[in-house]
């Protein structure tokens, strides 16, 4: 079975772990979000790709959910001692090695897809991990400028999330460079040639949204003969963790499972979904999702452990069989 999965960081990789438990023999291609990427101290950092790589490769910090296990922070402390900004980004020593390899290979002329493939060899990754694009795309968030009352400014998504903890109002989300980006080698084929296309409970705006926004990708999702099944990242009226509610508000979408489903839209009506899993506590929304032309089902969606997450992955694959045309 060939499965293709569009993924952000923590939500995407947690789901992938369950999917691997549910279907250990599947051939899985992951198309990762790279709009969180940032250059710090000359190093190219790809947080979502690395979260998938470390999680599925066994190197992730279980406690933090990002970065490396057994991490030390000497480089970060030394940079701070020099008064170097930014100090808010967690650059661990082990993690820095990944960014050094990536940056050196990019500087030598390799594309990000080739670099990612090379990095994944070390981790013996049980999936093929592709960046959405080799081209630079970076999410910026428009906020009120604290230094200039009445005016606004755009900051990098990492500054909004890591430094400001998404505590200031996001007025607008912009994916800089996206209009000129091309899907990375292998991306369109992985969408066209798979048995099921899955959208895990990743952020609908700054993870899945930025992947779909790369010219060519949304059309490929619309046109694939594989069923497209999504899992809601919203349970009740908020995200399970993270800031999906804040960035959904910025694009005018309510934080409910049904509103996110309508935002993605039914493939039959020009959207990207055939099926949508929502949590059992949101079962009252099934009707309105069905009215939007999307096959919906309510199952427990808390990815609390691998068994529960594998059950979610199974439910998504079963829904795919039910909607297969």
**Across the chain, where does the E strand assignment appear?**
2-7, 27-32, 38-40, 43-45, 128-131, 138-144, 152-156, 172-176, 196-199, 228-231, 234-235, 238-239, 275-278, 295-298
Do 91 and 84 touch, CB atoms closer than 8 A? no
The answer to whether the beta carbons of residues 14 and 30 sit under 8 Å apart is no
Q: Is 240 in the site for ligand GDP (CB under 6 A)?
A: yes
Q: Please work out the total of residues on this chain that contact ligand GDP, with binding judged by CB under 6 A.
A: 24
- Residue whose C-beta lies closest to Ca ion: 9
Task: Choose between 105 and 309: whose C-beta lies nearer to ligand GDP.
Answer: 309
CB atoms within 10 A of CB 82: 6
The one among 239, 275, 289, 317 contacting ligand GDP by CB under 6 A:
239
Return the number of the residue (11 or 227) whose C-beta is nearest ligand GDP.
11
Binds 256: which of Ca ion, ligand GDP, none (CB < 5-8 Å by kind): none
CB of 12 to ligand GDP, least distance (A): 4
Peptide bond into 86 cis (omega under 30): yes
**3-state DSSP assignment of residue 140:** strand
* Of residues 232, 235, 218, the one with CA closest to residue 275: 232
Min separation Cβ 65 and ligand GDP, Å: 7
> From ligand GDP, Ca ion, none, which one binds at residue 240 (CB under 5 to 8 Å depending on kind)?
ligand GDP
Q: Evaluate whether 27 touches 215 at the Cβ level (below 8 Å).
A: no
Do residues 144 and 189 lie in contact, with contact meaning Cβ atoms separated by under 8 Å? no
In the complex with Ca ion, the residue whose CB is nearer, 119 or 226, is 119
Residue 33 or 297: which CB sits closer to Ca ion? 33
- Residue 18 contacts which entry, Ca ion, ligand GDP, none (Cβ below 5-8 A, type-dependent): none
183 near ligand GDP, judged by CB under 6 A = no
Window 257-316: residues binding ligand GDP (CB under 6 A): 301-303
């Amino acid at each position: 079975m060939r499965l293709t999965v569009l993924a952000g960081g923590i939500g995407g990789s947690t789901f992938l772990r369950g999917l691997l438990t549910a279907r250990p023999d599947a051939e899985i291609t992951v198309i990762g979000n790279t709009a969180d990427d940032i250059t710090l101290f000359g190093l190219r950092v790809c947080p979502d790709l690395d979260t998938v790589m470390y999680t599925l490769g066994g190197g992730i910090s279980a406690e933090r959910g990002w970065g490396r296990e057994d991490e030390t922070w000497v480089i970060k402390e030394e940079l701070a001692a020099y008064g170097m900004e930014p100090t808010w980004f967690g650059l661990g020593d082990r993690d820095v090695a990944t960014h050094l390899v990536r940056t050196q290979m990019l500087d030598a002329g390799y594309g990000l897809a080739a670099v990612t493939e090379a990095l994944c060899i070390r981790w013996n990754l049980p999936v093929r991990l592709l960046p959405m694009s080799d081209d630079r795309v970076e999410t910026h968030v428009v906020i009120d400028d604290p230094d200039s009352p009445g005016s606004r400014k755009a900051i990098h998504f990492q500054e909004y999330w890591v430094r400001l903890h998404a505590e200031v109002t996001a007025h607008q989300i912009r994916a800089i460079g996206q209009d000129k980006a091309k899907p990375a080698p292998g991306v369109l084929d992985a969408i066209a040639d798979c048995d099921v296309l899955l959208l895990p409970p990743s952020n609908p705006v700054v993870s899945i949204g930025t992947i779909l926004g790369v010219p060519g990708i949304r059309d490929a999702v619309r046109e694939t003969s594989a069923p497209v099944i999504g899992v809601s990242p919203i349970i009740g009226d908020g995200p399970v963790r993270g800031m999906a509610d804040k960035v959904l508000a910025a694009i005018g979408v309510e934080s409910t499972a049904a509103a996110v489903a309508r935002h993605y839209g039914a493939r039959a009506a020009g959207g990207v979904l055939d099926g949508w899993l929502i949590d059992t506590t949101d079962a009252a929304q099934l009707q309105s999702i069905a009215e939007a032309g999307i096959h919906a089902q309510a199952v427990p969606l808390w990815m609390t452990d691998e068994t529960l997450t594998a059950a979610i992955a199974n439910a998504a694959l079963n829904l795919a069989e039910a909607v297969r045309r």
